[in-house]
Structure 1
């Protein structure tokens, strides 16, 4: 991170190595940036040498780790950030701590960094070991050698550019990746490597770097290899001052071709899913239309047949109907049952595409209403209903009523043989989630059959004694799933059953 106003020492005139102007700024300084709370965001080579941390070890850590225990207890790190925030910059001299625990006497400059609107974005930190020229020379030499090694062997593509965007340096491995040697590229505009479609945006980004030397810029674009093949790269660029005070641009490019291919595949799959979703929506509408057709075309003949049976019984006297009356009544009962089955199937199908309309639902009140309707069908049955008060949930009221009708209706049917039936509706805490339940003391079922309860038309052994279609609990499961919850049952044969269900805060996408 280049710091506005900071100029490195002048280079040794005897040194004509082309790396020297860009390495000189690293010789004596640990330069890194912090976020607004003091956590390290970037880390240069000088910082690695001076402080002892590799970049992957220090990024994200709080910069107080460089201070002595005494300074930390005194709140010195936080105090320096406050001063830099209010005054723009603060300078301090004192002991600092390396990774290995060793101390060195340092001069530290912390400056606040702001965006174009003046909002605080973080801080730059420049630390220099001022223990003595010998230590400084050793650090500089190590920094020089280490930088050369990093530049030569770094697998990323590294470039330094001048203000005209000409390549001053190209890392050997970066040039090799592109099919060149460094000498073929150095001195040429970096834009010769950029695909023509991306060249204007890259040029604009690099010029913006020169205007904002205290900011890191990122951009994704395509570069062209010597053989003409294209590669997607992520570029990280920042303007820095060289030894003569001129602005250059440091650029790091990483190959992200695999990532872009994955993104393109995701986009392709999303497009396929969008098409299939549209097809599914059309199919659902067709199914809805079919359901109405079924309701009309199947129910109408059944209704006519039932009316004819009723007419025959009423029109003819007992003697003329004779023994056929029982058969006619059986036909009428069958037609009514088929009509109810069609209604149940329509409800089950409709739930698959009806979006839940969430409102506050008083489950306790709804359970009392459902129970009252059950009692009216057999008022003489001895029953003990236990309904918890104050149970409310945010859900679709009409769909939740179907849930309670089915669960309480099942409990009513499966307790028929009990001398005194007990049916309970309440809530329990299951793994921190409220689970509403209907519990009865009926016949129950074997544990191995619990999963079959929620499959359409799958009934447990012994269930044939109870009137039903085997679709009620499947309807419950579909409704609860549409509410983002789950439903399950627990039972032991002969010891009753409990059916639990949960309701999520958000609907499931089905």
Structure 2
């Protein structure tokens, strides 16, 4: 702590950006009003420094890794109660100041505050011992030197009007998950005011996904996740479901500064998906309703060989009680005496099937009116092996005429609906043994065209060759049933997407006698689902590209612009007061920022023109060796001490725009210096009818997962930084000149390399 007798107050500067700390530290030293005794790059480190130094004042940033300012503030005051804390943030106030003061801050200053008055403001805040801790410090008055404040704009948000007026919810979130700014759309989605959102952990609105949110933050901080996405319900808003996308905004060292969040209300979409699920459930229940039918097999003599749940429900007999008995058991005595049951079998055997309605008898002696269908079943050789019998209880239909008509209508609709299904029998070997109208409508074959042929006929050639049909029967025999969706082939050769269920059929002794197969054409549903999935993918891609563009453009612009303005003002006003090392440090920053800004501007303008197909090339005969030499010399000046070699053949003439070709080569050299390892070697030589320019470095090369999208717009690695436009521009400029740009992966003989191939000049 400062001692009596005129000692300057002590201060610790906490900010995760080294260049910001350097600028603030220099300003405070030149003011002569405060003594900077320590620095920290995050909240956790700040606690250690404060515990050791016990400063009079801490200038504390909001968004930092490990522990942000809002999380560190109460811990600093607990560690050193006599220390005053001033929050110093790049986020506009928007309720954040009130939150900071509630946590114990003495004041809240935005980083847009004039640095000329920063020391005076801090001393004035510190000098008033009676100032209540819940009072915000006065705003610094605007003075000359606005350019200087631009050095701090790396921590100020851009596109304010877009942010506030966006139709989707947007927020700025610290690396620890605290919301420090929110727009009106997000407030509407969460059912709270903007002020209520600021200073609150995002996890409080997503308690059902808290663990996933913590994992998302960890992945972004570690660089394992470039963009994170979270779906959750909204706490306090009934039935509200959202999808939140979090994209990190990086500093000049490619470290996350804070997170940019986009939140979309997907309640209606999830509701539609749930309705689709319920619709499918209703369909399944209709299928399960087959318990309304008694379905069983008869021997050629009329003995019952199998029994299902519907038969037990309708007739009252268990399987053990009825299997092996003659089916005449279900007929009234007068019908049995007339030989009618045997007559039914004779007609079914002669005509293939027999159908009637009549009285039948249950186990308890009660009668019911039944609809009965008996079908003769033959094996592959045409030998009669028995009958399939289907019975339905129609008793209620006879109770009342109106109920009868209604029942008939329901049955008719059910029968018509069954035409949507191909239902047929297979022998144990897979040969088609029966055929229904739904099967004819779906596959195009008439019964006499398909019965007796193997069911592999319905499969594409590649599946036939892999013996997939036989595999289906094996699975159905082992598990009892087999179900899948896949392509099938109609008689005319066209394909359709089908849902297929194959069930193994066994007789009363458990012997396998064949398979029952149900097929439904769901091509239209698949096409609709694919279209919906494609549309969702396009929407998601557009949203991701928009978020990426906003984040990287804000990051890439604010650092060089701010450093240029702030450094120039500082050098002009205090050249003689600065130490030599300070001047050198500031001049290096000035030069590198100007180069970075110029390159970014060139890339953005070129990418825009390429996108709109409005790139104007000044075509002339160009010496490629001279273009490469200029690019290498420029890179060497910007990176003194780095080995950059050129190996050039003479007379490499092409028809092209020298400036644009220079930009392409310059981008490749810069890419090698930024993402590779020295030495960098640039070669240019003839290769058949082309001129080939190669840029290679000694680094490990491009990772396999990045190679496919290496030349796409905005394609960046997880920790590479940049706009992702450089290689996209290289390829498009090469193609504009009739050539192309490619990447050659590393081999055992050498490292990877980028290549530009251009056709030789025609004159």
TM-score, normalised to structure 1's length?
Answer: 0.35
User: RCO greater where, 1 or 2, for CA within 8 Å and sep 6 or more?
Assistant: 1
Q: Structure 2 length normalisation: TM-score?
A: 0.25
